[in-house]
Structure 1
Amino acid sequence: MARIVGYAPGAYDLFHVGHLNILRHAKRRCDYLIAGVVADEVLELTKGRRPIIPLAERMEILRHISYVDEVVAEVQPDKVETWRSVGFDVIFKGDDWRGTPKGDRLERDFAAVGVEVIYFPYTVHTSSTALRRALAAIDGPEELVASEVG
């Protein structure tokens, strides 16, 4: 039986239980789990903002999660290009991607190269977006924006 390599990409900014749940579920569905941490510049390009926690620190956090076997920096937005350099059999995403144009494109692109896309439930009550809003309410939007730039 061949070893199944899984890939769980994400920003993993403001690490929370939703991130942990995806990694836990992903590890149950593969033999070797690679966490792809999206680089600061790629997040800025794709989401229009830099993360609060820098890439090196986000990668360090994931290295210490028991479900994760390997951590890589995701340095480009094209997931198929990442697959070509990293190599995996299945990719894991939150189900907030399912049925969206991005999710449909992900499924189509990976079907063409034989990679399965598996969705896990999105943790609605805790998200990085909700945490950002809470921080902005506490610190004021200008302080949060300043921390994103620096």
Structure 2
Amino acid sequence: MSHVVGYAPGVYDLFHVGHLNVLKQAKARCDFLIAGVVSDEMCAHAKGFEPFVPVAERVEIVRHINVVDDVHVEVVPDKLATWEVLRFDRIFKGDDWRGTPRGDKLERDFATVGVEVVYFPYTVHTSSTQLRRALRQVGGAPALAAEA
């Protein structure tokens, strides 16, 4: 029987039940789960804003989730470069990626190295974006680049 290594990348900012659900579902589909926590700089580059919670704190939170076996800080945008280091068998993403140009590219790229892309339902009722908006309304979070 083969040992399946899974990789669940994300910002994991303002950790909420949607994040927990992704990690639990991912662990159910692999033997060893690595959570990829996107660095502050990578988040700013990819999403146009810095996370509310600094990367060192997000790593500590994710590291202590009982379904996570290891944590990797993502510092490069290319998931294949991350795969070169970690050699995972499955990558887990929210189904908001499915059928998008980003998701299609992810699937094509990982097909070349035999990595399965597994999608999970996106938690619509709770998101970091919604939490960030609520914090901003009470004066506790910076505006999103798209909303500024």
Q: Which residue of 1 aligns with 2:88?
A: 88
Determine which structure has the larger helix proportion and give its number: 1
Task: For 1:52-91, list aligned pairs within 5 A.
Answer: 52-91=52-91
Q: TM-score, normalised by structure 2?
A: 0.94
Q: Secondary structure at the match of 1:93?
A: strand
Deviations 1:34-63 (A, max 9, x none): 000001111111111110100100000011
Task: For 1:1-150, list aligned pairs within 5 A.
Answer: 1-139=1-139, 143-145=140-142
Deviations 1:102-142 (A, max 9, x none): 11110110011100000000000000011111111122xxx
Runs of 4+ in 1 over 4 A off after TM superposition: none
Question: What displacement does 1:87 show?
Answer: 1.2
**Uncovered stretches (5+) of structure 1, i.e. residues with no partner:** none
**Uncovered stretches (5+) of structure 2, i.e. residues with no partner:** 144-148
CA–CA distance in 2 between the matches of 1:105 and 1:125?
Answer: 27
CA–CA distance in 2 between the matches of 1:87 and 1:11?
Answer: 20
Q: TM-score, normalised by structure 1?
A: 0.93
Amino acid aligned to 2:27? K
Aligned length: 143
CA–CA distance in 1 between the matches of 2:132 and 2:141?
Answer: 8
Identity %: 67
